[in-house]
């Protein structure tokens, strides 16, 4: 089976910058630019009569604000944004939520998304913390790369996320929200971002999927220095299984990136299968001891450049942690302090999770 056969795109062309496409009565699809290989994020406006609810916002940048000013004056017809609903805490989704809130909009999101975004936007570091450096050393960065990073200003959330004032309205799994003339059930997933909200219309088979339900690319599943022992891949796969009984082939999914699509049950099965296949390739690689950085080729099957290295690293650690939590691998320290991972079958019984 192929994606082309079972995942279909009823809107094959994205809206041009500053324009909108109506994907259902009262729902507009728009795009904001991103300065990376994934060069866009989808945002949506839902007609609430006197004003608009928007879903996700793009990064906080002069370019994004200019596009929004054009959208507000054009497709949104000068009517106010009264509410901003954010699917998850990542900068390309929550970046301008504070800007809209300063203009009078209500901010609606999950508690975890708001807490994480609020914490991160206040945590500005001029240089990497010792915990970040230790994380990179554990993953196998070479000495020259580690030395260079220690003197470089790291990415800070506040670089592209507007300040978030106190106060938000919570949505939670199992709840509901009314917007765009529809009642939406809130169903949360995990793995890509904790307590990521997806919204399922009770009225007409629409699903606002954020990054939890993308049609073609794989959402990044990463482990970070904030929780180096986490197993987000288990959470991601469990979320896909949890969504499967709810998914219908004719659901129109409005995702955070790429094109709206139908064929959600197939896509959920496919996402599970893709990670299981990646784990199989990783198991084969770990017949001999490997650093995390040695495992890129097995997981991604393509060259990883400098621009992709950070996301590749955190995703590789996520897959290794998953096997560690399943007691399928063991790890020991190399002479330079990096973790060396290998199959438990190759070296007797595994050590408990979190030990050498």
pLDDT tens for the chain, 356 residues long, are 344 459 999 999 999 989 999 999 999 999 999 999 899 999 999 999 999 999 999 999 999 999 999 999 999 999 999 999 999 999 999 999 999 999 999 999 999 999 999 999 999 999 999 999 999 999 999 999 999 999 999 999 999 999 999 999 999 999 999 999 999 999 999 999 999 999 999 989 999 999 999 999 989 999 999 999 999 999 999 999 999 999 999 999 999 999 999 999 999 999 999 999 999 999 999 999 999 999 999 999 898 988 899 999 999 999 999 999 999 999 999 999 999 999 998 655 444 444 33
> Is 270:45 a contact under the CB 8 Å cutoff?
no
Backbone angles phi, psi at 47, to 5 degrees: -75, 115
CATH of domain 1-356: 3.60.15.10
Cα 129 from chain centre? 23
pLDDT computed for residue 307 by the predictor: 86
> What pTM does this model have?
0.94
- Other C-beta atoms closer than 10 Å to the C-beta of 85 total 26
**Residue 52's beta-bridge partner residues?**
47, 81
Cα separations in angstroms, 107 against 58, 89, 137, 171, 310: 15, 12, 38, 10, 30
Q: At what angle do helices 264-285 and 232-243 cross, to 10 degrees?
A: 150
Sequence-separated (6 or more) residues with CB below 8 Å from residue 151: 127
In 3-state terms, what secondary structure has residue 228?
A: coil
pLDDT computed for residue 224 by the predictor: 96
Burial of 202 (0-12, 13-18, 19+ CB in 10 A): exposed
What distance in Å separates the CA atoms of residue 54 and residue 179, rounded to the nearest whole number?
Answer: 9
* DSSP class per residue in 326-352: TTSEEEEE-TTS-EEEEEGGGSSSPPP
What distance in Å separates the CA atoms of residue 196 and residue 94, rounded to the nearest whole number?
Answer: 12
Q: Where are the alpha helices (DSSP H) in 230-288?
A: 232-243, 264-285
Sequence-separated (6 or more) residues with CB below 8 Å from residue 52: 45, 46, 76, 79, 80, 81, 82, 83
Sequence-separated (6 or more) residues with CB below 8 Å from residue 120: 89, 157, 158, 161
What distance in Å separates the CA atoms of residue 154 and residue 173, rounded to the nearest whole number?
Answer: 34
Cα separations in angstroms, 354 against 141, 204, 223: 20, 47, 14
Q: At what angle do helices 130-139 and 306-325 cross, to 10 degrees?
A: 80
> Is 72:78 a contact under the CB 8 Å cutoff?
yes
> Is 319:328 a contact under the CB 8 Å cutoff?
no
């Amino acid at each position: 089976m192929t994606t082309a056969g079972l995942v279909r795109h009823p809107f094959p062309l994205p809206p041009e910058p500053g324009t909108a496409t109506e994907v259902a009565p009262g729902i507009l699809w728009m795009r904001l630019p991103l300065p990376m290989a994934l060069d866009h994020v989808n945002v949506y406006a839902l007609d609430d009569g006197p004003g608009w609810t928007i879903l996700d916002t793009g990064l906080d940048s002069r370019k994004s604000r200019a596009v929004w000013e054009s959208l507000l004056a054009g497709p949104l017809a000068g009517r106010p944004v009264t509410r901003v609903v954010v699917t998850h805490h990542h900068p390309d989704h929550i970046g301008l939520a504070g800007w809209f809130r300063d203009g009078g909009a209500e901010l609606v999101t999950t508690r975890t998304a708001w807490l994480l975004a609020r914490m991160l936007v206040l945590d500005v570091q001029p240089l990497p913390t010792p915990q970040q450096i230790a994380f990179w050393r554990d993953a196998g960065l070479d000495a020259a790369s580690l030395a260079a990073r220690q003197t470089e200003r790291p990415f800070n959330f506040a670089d592209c996320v507007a300040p978030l004032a106190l106060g938000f309205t919570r949505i939670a799994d199992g709840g509901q929200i009314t917007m765009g003339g529809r009642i939406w059930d809130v169903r949360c997933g995990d793995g890509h971002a904790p307590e990521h909200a997806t919204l399922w219309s009770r009225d007409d088979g629409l699903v606002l999927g954020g990054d939890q339900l993308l049609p073609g690319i794989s959402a990044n599943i990463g482990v970070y220095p904030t929780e180096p022992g986490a197993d987000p891949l288990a959470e991601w796969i469990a979320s896909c299984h949890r969504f499967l009984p709810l998914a219908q082939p004719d659901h129109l999914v409005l995702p955070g990136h790429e094109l709206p699509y139908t064929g959600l049950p197939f896509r959920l099965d496919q996402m599970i299968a893709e990670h299981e296949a990646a784990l199989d390739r990783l198991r084969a690689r770990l017949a001999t001891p490997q650093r995390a950085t040695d495992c890129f080729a097995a997981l991604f099957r393509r060259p990883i450049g400098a621009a992709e290295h950070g996301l590749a690293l955190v995703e590789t650690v996520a897959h290794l942690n998953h096997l560690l939590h399943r007691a399928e691998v063991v790890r020991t320290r190399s002479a330079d302090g990096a973790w060396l991972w290998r199959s438990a079958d190759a070296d007797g019984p595994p050590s408990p999770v979190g030990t050498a």
